[in-house]
Amino acid sequence: MLDVGIIGASGYTGVELARILAVHPEVRLTVATSRQYAGRKMAEVFPSLAKRLDVLCENLTVDELLPRADFFFAAVPHKTAMDIVPKLLAAGKKVVDLSADYRLHDQRVYEEWYQPHSSPEFLAEAVYGLPELYRDQIRTARLVANPGCYPTSVILALTPLLREDLIEPGTLVIDSKSGTSGAGRSASVANLYCEVADSFRAYKVGGKHRHTPEIEQELSLAAGAPVRVTFTPHLLPISRGILSTSYATLTPRGAKADIFALYEAAYKDEPFVRVLAPGEQPATHNVRASNCCDIAFALDHRTGRIIVTSAIDNIGKGASGQAVQNMNLMQGFAEGTALMGPACFP
Binders in 27-46 for its own copies, by CB under 8 A? 44, 46
Q: Does 24 bind its own copies (CB under 8 A)?
A: no
Q: Shortest gap between Cβ of 293 and its own copies (angstroms)?
A: 11
Binders of its own copies among residues 157 to 196 (CB under 8 A) are 171, 173, 175, 177, 180-181, 185-189, 191-196
Give the binding range for its own copies (CB under 8 A) out of 50-58, 70-78, 106-114, 254-262.
Answer: 50-58
Residue 223, helix vs strand vs coil: helix
Binders of its own copies among residues 200 to 219 (CB under 8 A) are 200-203, 205-207, 212
Residues 342, 161: Cα–Cα separation, whole Å: 27
Which one of residues 89, 126, 266, 343 is an interface residue with its own copies (CB under 8 A)?
343
Q: Does 345 bind its own copies (CB under 8 A)?
A: yes
Q: Dihedral through CA 208, CA 236, CA 162, CA 273, nearest 10?
A: 140
Give the binding range for its own copies (CB under 8 A) out of 58-66, 80-88, 111-119, 338-346.
Answer: 338-346
Q: Shortest gap between Cβ of 117 and its own copies (angstroms)?
A: 21
DSSP state of 342: P
Q: Does 247 bind its own copies (CB under 8 A)?
A: yes
Cβ atoms 174, 229 nearer than 8 A: yes
Cβ atoms 42, 21 nearer than 8 A: no
Q: How many CB atoms lie within 10 A of CB 92?
A: 9
230 bridge partner residues: 173
Which one of residues 290, 322, 326, 337 is an interface residue with its own copies (CB under 8 A)?
290
Q: Cα 109 vs. chain centroid, distance in angstroms?
A: 19
Which one of residues 2, 91, 133, 307 is an interface residue with its own copies (CB under 8 A)?
307
> Which CB, 49 or 62, lies closer to its own copies?
49
Residues 63, 94: Cα–Cα separation, whole Å: 15
Using a 10 angstrom Cβ sphere, with 0-12 exposed, 13-18 middle and 19 or more buried, the burial of residue 346 is exposed
Binders of its own copies among residues 269 to 288 (CB under 8 A) are 271, 274, 276-277, 280-288
Q: DSSP of 121-136, one letter per residue?
A: GGTTTPEE--HHHHHH
Terminal-to-terminal C-alpha distance of the chain: 34
Q: Shortest gap between Cβ of 70 and its own copies (angstroms)?
A: 23
Q: Does 52 bind its own copies (CB under 8 A)?
A: yes
**Among this protein's residues, is 344 annotated catalytic?**
no
Neighbour order of strands in the sheet with 57-58 = 57-58, 27-33, 2-7, 71-74, 94-97, 143-145, 127-128
124 to 153: interface string for its own copies, x by CB under 8 A: ------------------------------
Which one of residues 33, 34, 232, 320 is an interface residue with its own copies (CB under 8 A)?
232
Residues designated catalytic: 149
